[in-house]
Amino acid sequence: MKPLGILGGTFDPVHHGHLRLALEAQAALGLSGVRLIPARRQPLREETMASPARRLEMLTLAIEGESALTTDDRELRREGPSYTIDTLTSLREELPRVPLCLLMGGDSWEGLERWHRWRELIDLAHLVVVHRPGYPGVSAARCRQRFDREPAAGPGALAATPAGEVLALALPPLAISATRIRTLLREGGNPRYLLPDPVLQYIRNHRLYT
């Protein structure tokens, strides 16, 4: 059974770092697709600048015509903070046997121990950590210390079980962040080519991030 990729985030706004990560991971891991799941409110971060509805609309614009990528609004429909453990639990109820690959950048992996019930994430999904410029990747020592297991040797292991592996995935790095895009927009700079044109047009039409 092909694994399904999951990429959660604030997507404030979505950019090419997210989109390339999703597509490259799909190819490298043989995923059936990747679901992009915007958080209503990330417990560890400040309030997003754009509303949940706007962030979902930008995501929808960004993936238009790309059949491998879909949006999933379950966190937006849930009241309160968006805990990944709750999202994985609800996905598991729908897809009891499908291998789930929770994709994240190296910055997310770094802060994982602050996530709500982080130890249980691995019972519900594989963790796939993509290198992000400026952050250390997955070390075997950290993997052992956190989850009492070795990192997976390669993508093959992910299709064999529904959950439980930690994989460090080397993809072509893109040093793009939503923070930089918001800064450029606030300061009157030009963020073009860091994010899809239709998303930038949407931002300008609705005067977001100014």
CA atoms of 14 and 208, how far apart (whole Å): 13
Q: What is the DSSP letter of 152?
A: P
Q: Site size for ligand ATP, by CB under 6 A? A: 18
Taking a C-beta distance cutoff of 8 angstroms, is the pair 116, 80 a contact? no
Q: Does position 12 bind ligand ATP by CB under 6 A?
A: yes
Beta strands in the chain (DSSP E): 4-9, 34-38, 69-71, 100-105, 126-130, 166-169
Tokens matching residue 24: 């490259």
Q: Does position 9 bind ligand ATP by CB under 6 A?
A: yes
Q: Taking CB under 6 A as the criterion, which residues in 16-45 touch ligand ATP? A: 17-18, 21
Q: Does position 107 bind ligand ATP by CB under 6 A?
A: yes
User: In this complex, which beta carbon is closest to ligand ATP, that of residue 96 or of residue 172?
Assistant: 172
User: In this complex, which beta carbon is closest to ligand ATP, that of residue 5 or of residue 105?
Assistant: 105
The values of phi and psi at residue 168, to 5°, are -90, 125
Only one residue has tokens 């594989």, namely: 126
Tokens matching residue 10: 């604030």
Q: Which of 108, 124, 185, 191 is the binder for ligand ATP (CB under 6 A)?
A: 108
CA atoms of 25 and 2, how far apart (whole Å): 13
Q: Does position 174 bind ligand ATP by CB under 6 A?
A: yes
User: In this complex, which beta carbon is closest to ligand ATP, that of residue 10 or of residue 26?
Assistant: 10
Which residue's Cβ has the minimum distance to ligand ATP?
105
Binding mask 133-172 for ligand ATP (x = CB under 6 A): ----------------------------------------
CA atoms of 49 and 190, how far apart (whole Å): 18
User: In this complex, which beta carbon is closest to ligand ATP, that of residue 159 or of residue 184?
Assistant: 184
CA atoms of 128 and 168, how far apart (whole Å): 6
Contact positions vs ligand ATP (CB under 6 A): 9-12, 17-18, 21, 104-105, 107-108, 130, 132, 174, 176-179
